[in-house]
Amino acid sequence: MTLLDKIESFEAETHAGRNLHFGIREHGMMAVVNGMVLSGLRAFGATFFIFPDYCKPSIRLSAIMRIPSLFIFTHDSIGVGEDGPTHQPVEHLAALRAIPWLVTLRPGDANEVAEAYRAVLPWKDRPVALILTRQTCRPSTAPSTPRRPAWPRAPTCSPTPKRGSPS
């Protein structure tokens, strides 16, 4: 859910698009997300999970204002692969969870991702950070089971991506 399929991009020549591209400007992207939310839209921004420090001021402001911004971070894993240890976030989850009024969710499989979206989209008084993996995970939960904290009995994600696989 980071690129709206079959929807134009907002560009200098085309203002009708709904996809905005920011390049490597995480702070600016999340600030724009906050502005869009303040104007009444339901907006989200997405980037790799190695970059939340760049956008933390915007994330903190959304939490202080208690607005429903949605921040999506992907590639949460020590198995990121070819980019090496500089792209293996390990401390960012704790840092985001320490921000008051920011709800930080790290779904364990596709069913939990769907359930997370169902749970948070109606919220109007708090921002959410969704932390998603890039690994292929087999479902460890049934789609319609009641939500309760649990640990899978066996690993459900492949430990490392296959060499040459797309990021």
pLDDT tens-digit readout, 2-33: 565 666 666 667 766 656 666 667 877 889 89
* Tens-place pLDDT, residues 26-60: 877 889 899 989 999 888 888 888 888 889 999 99
Distances (CA, A) of 118 to 65, 112, 159: 22, 10, 28
112 has catalytic annotation: no
pLDDT higher than 90, residue 135? no
Q: Across the strands, what pairs with 137?
A: 157
**CB neighbour list of residue 129: distance below 8 Å, 6 or more residues apart:** 52, 59, 71, 72, 73, 96, 102, 103, 104, 105
State the pTM of this model: 0.75
Go through the chain and tell me how many residues it has.
Answer: 167
Catalytic residue (choose from 11, 26, 91, 115):
26
